[in-house]
Every structure is written in C-alpha cells, then in structure tokens.
Structure 1
Amino acid sequence: MRRFGQVDIRQLKTFIAIAELGTLAKAADAVGLTPSAVSQQIQALENEVQAELFDRSTRPMTLNNHGLQMLEAAHNLVRSADDVIDAISGKAITGTFTIGSVRSSALSLLPRAIVALKADYPDLKIKLHVANSDELLNDVVSGRLDSAMVAEHSGVPSALRWSPFINEPLFVIAPPSTPQMPATEMLSTLPYVRFNSRFRLAQLIDTEMAKSGIATTPIAEIDTMTAVVACVVHGLGASVAPYSALKESLGEVVSAPFGNPQVYRQIGLIERRTSTRTIVIDRLHQHLVSFSGEYGVAR
C-alpha cells in the first residue's frame, strides 16, 4: 500500500475522482471500487485530516473550503508518488501519446518539442492533431487526446488542468522602410493588416486597439499570423503580432511594444487532472519551456 505520511495514496485518488466527477457512483466506476468502498475511503481520509472535505448539504455534494485546499495537495502528492515509483521501477514509457494543438504561431515550437520527447521515450508513438480550441478541450476531456496546446482560455472545464509554458509579448510591426515612430502612430497612419480569426489572440488585439482608441485604415484581413507577418515584411502595411511569430523576422520589420503596458499572451498545455500520462506531459512541457527561451514559464 502506498502511503504518504498516514494518508493512503488510493484515498487521494478516490478523493480527486469524486471532486472531478461529482458523484460517488461515477468516482467508483473511475477507480474500480464500489460506492460503499469509495465512501469508506473518504471517511477515512477525513478522519485522518480531522476535517470534512465536502459540503454534503448539496446534491451532488461539492468541495468545501477544506476540500478545495486538499485538492491541489492531493494532485501533487499523487503525481509525486507515481513519478517516484515509475522512476524506481524503470517502467518503460510505451504506447501512443496523442497531442493536439490550435493553429497558433507558437505551433512552430511543438514539432521541436515532440522530436525532443521522442528522443526521451523512443518506444513511445506520438500523434499530432490540429483543431480549434473547443474541439481540443472536448477531445482531452473525453480521452481522445492525452494533452493539447491552447492559448489561455476562460472555458477550461474543471476536469482539466491548464499549465502555461510561454508568456510572450505582442509587438506592433511595420515594413522595413518605415521611419521609427510610436506604435500608435504606426497603426493609425499606415494601412492596417488585421489578424481576423476566432482565436483568442485576435480578440486580445482587437480589445487593446479599442481600449486605446486607435483608428486604423484596414487594407487586408487575414486569418493566419504567418501570412500577416509576411504581408508586413513585403510592405503591405502595419499589424500586431506575438513574439513567436516574429522571432525569425525581427530583423526584417520595424517593431515597437504593443499596448501600454505591453500586452502579453499565454499558451499552455491542457490535460486531464486524472491523466495517466503525467510524466510524458511534464517532459513535453519542459521542452516547450526550453524552446520558448526568455519567455518560457516553468510548470
């Protein structure tokens, strides 16, 4: 039996399952126990910590303040125990690891991280699927994907964990022949190449433009950031782009920070809180942080 202090790791896994799935019956199915055994485990856990962890006056029951504090600790303890056991046993990482991604300028980081991950786990098959954020969230929740790369998202279900790996700045960019001038002047005097998509980045840019009261003269609306940057490099007009889309072209454009203070956007990995691929996802996250350079965010 794995124990952490006087707490059984199995009790913590059962506690996590109830917190995420909402009912004893669903948790029992998830951990392979009867509802009665699940109830006994939770009672034993509450006796050990000397506090109730659930508000049982609601249906389904919900975590109380003690339970919310316990949940994050339980995740960390379970992850630590499983990682140590796998490391000591030398368990090989095999099977298929499925990773999803939005069509982001940061997508360029993912192939490099996957190659590095493949070197870490040569027996692991890796598959990449590109889709929109909502589809990726649903696929991770359902288990069709092990993890996915998405921008900061307000609609992440409680069953998922989102961990940022990059926090990158946005820049106003203009053609290389443009005289140096304030960012707001570039946007208001030059033709504007607008990034027009359903992704959060486009909403982030439009919101800051509206807040700053910048009046633009649109010349084009484009739904991929790579094409936006190419249009600016070739002289069509000015635009706004994140660092990951610019790092190969910074010497070919005039740039200035976007926003006052400068606007940043975060991208991270989502995973199920009960994922069995935590070791692989942690390693992938480490590689993404490394390839993000100075803007990487440690897990």
Structure 2
Amino acid sequence: MTGDAVVVRYTLSDFYGDESERAAVYGLQERLRAALDGAGEFGGNEFGDGGVTLFLYGPDADRLYAAATPLLRELPYRPARVRLRYGDPRDEVCREGDLDGDLPAERPPARRWIRAAEGDVFRVPVDASRSALGQVVAVSGPWVLVVIFDEPAFDADILLMALTFDDCLAGGEWPIVERRPVRADVPWPVYKMSVTSMGTFVEDHFGNKFREATPEERRTLRSRSQCSPEEVTDAARAAFGVGEWLDRYDYFIVDHQQTVARIIGSSADTLLRGHDVGNHGG
C-alpha cells in the first residue's frame, strides 16, 4: 500500500493469543476505524508468534499516530512496540520505539532497495553451486506470497508456498532474475480464522474473508501464518537435500485440498488471479 504507515506489535499470552485477547483486539480495530476518519484507515492485523501486529495506513504517519495513540495505548498487552513508516516501505524511513514512550525525533535517511513486485522470478541459494527458483505471486505492503519450484525451471511443479516479508528480495539475498506473468496454476491457499464474537471464517493469504467456515472446514483448515525469509530459505535448502527437513517446514508444502478453487470455487480463484485483494465477503 502506498503512503505512510503506523505498525504496532503487542505481546500476547500464547502463539495467537487467547480468546479474550483476540476479542479485545477486534474491539480496538472497530474503534480505530471510527476514530481515524480523515487521518487514515485501519489496514488489518497479523496474529502469530506470540503476539498481534496492527497496520494503519494514511498520507501522514505523524498525524495518523497522533489520532490513534490514545486508543492504541488502551490495549493493555505489553511489551508493545510501534513503528512509524514514511513513504515506500523499502526505503526504511522509520521512527520506532515503545508504545508508551517517546519516539526518536529524527527520521533516518532513505535506504533505496530493489522493489519486488508480482511476477518477479528469483533464486534462493541452496549451496555454493545450486539455487532454487521461485516467484512472487502476490504482494501486500511488506508481505509477499512466494512459491518455490521443485526444479530450477519456471515450468517446474510448485513445491513450497509461504507468506513472508520481502526482506530477502529487497536486500538482494534472493536475486531477482526476471519478471514474468504469475503462473496460471498457482494453488491459491485458504485458511481459517476464528473471531470470538462472529464465528470462524474462511480467508485468503492476506486475511480477506470469503465466508463463514463449515464445521468440516473448522476442523481441517489450517490457520494462516507468516514466516521469516530465512526460514523459507532453510526449507528450500532442506527440500533440495541441504540440511535437515524439520517438521515445521511441512506447513510450506502445497496442499491441493485446501485451495480457493476447491473450497470456494472457480469464480473466487479467478478473482485472485486478477490480484484483487479486497474483502471478498461483501
């Protein structure tokens, strides 16, 4: 998303937080939507890894933070960190600090990085002589959905899929070699997300809801989770025989039973192939 951003990370009691914590977060989100009129908008959340991250977007990060701060500080979960990001996220022009304290007065100079985009084909170093090949299939702010092929060829089968930050692409650790149309056979994944006051929903890779989950989907669908680029690299290396394959890497293996086309239908699958990442539920 273009413009400035305010990103807040709260620490919760366990990996996704308990029901009362999630309910409090969802309540805060609704209050933020009402309070930010004119200053910006609430852009979504990411639960996982022992906390929750909230994303706010607007034309002026300072004004946005001033409008949101009273509400953000009401949520009691600590420690909590805040980052004000100015302009393109790849430039890393940010001020950050404790949510309850003062932020640095000065902005750092912009750091110009390579800008990853949908369709970018990149290499993941496996060892001194080999690389795995991958593609960026969707982008939302600093998040990228990437696939890794089972052979170093663009027409090879898709082996791994992960939602991760664009750090390795922006910094050059995953060299971008070309840009091609996103593969037509991308198995867009679906997940479940439980909302205490509303039920359990089927959602896409960026958290956009399709509809309420059926009892069977509540039992079988996975929860959405993001990971570091370094973990994707380790999984790719293990898949190519370099290093140990750990159980947690199983999450990256493409599950063709849990896709948009299979669970939601071909019309929603076509919508995602058009790169519309808005709320699909209407």
Q: TM range, normalised to the smaller chain?
A: under 0.3
Kindly indicate which of the two structures has a greater share of residues assigned to helix: 1
Q: Which has the larger radius of gyration?
A: 1
Question: RCO higher in 1 or 2 (8 Å CA, sep ≥ 6)?
Answer: 1
TM-score for both structures, normalised by structure 2: 0.24
